[in-house]
Amino acid sequence: MMITGGCLAVDVDGTLVTRGVVNRKVLAMIHQGQAQNFDIIIWSRRGRDVAVNAAALAGVTGALCCAKPTHIVDDKGLTWLKDTVVAVV
């Protein structure tokens, strides 16, 4: 997948890390995004500490680590999704 700019938000559970093993394909996407000055967000439904630990396990620095977003506030409602790439890995 070619990343072209913006913000890359990566889930931990089953995406970046599965059973304690880092997904190298997802890690490569993160590195590619960092090389292109993307903001990187690493999130987990299990909370911020899990996201922080996953980033450390993967060797990712400079990312915003947080719990899974439960609320999104946007003046466009959900129409912004049409401009969002969702990759299933």
Residue 42: CATH number of its domain: 3.40.50.1000
CA distance 89 to 78: 23
Asked if residue 22 belongs to a domain, the reply is: yes
Domain of residue 52 covers 7-83
Q: Which residues fall within 8 angstroms of residue 54, CB to CB, at 6 or more apart? A: 12, 16, 17, 42, 44, 65
Q: How many independent structural domains does the chain possess? A: 1
Asked if residue 1 belongs to a domain, the reply is: no
Predicted confidence band of residue 4 (pLDDT cuts 50, 70, 90): low
- pLDDT averaged over every residue in the chain: 91
pLDDT confidence of residue 78: 79
Asked if residue 89 belongs to a domain, the reply is: no
Average pLDDT (5-33) is: 95
Asked if residue 28 belongs to a domain, the reply is: yes
pLDDT digits (tens, 9 = 90+) for 46-86: 999 999 999 999 999 999 999 999 888 888 887 877 778 77
pLDDT confidence of residue 1: 58
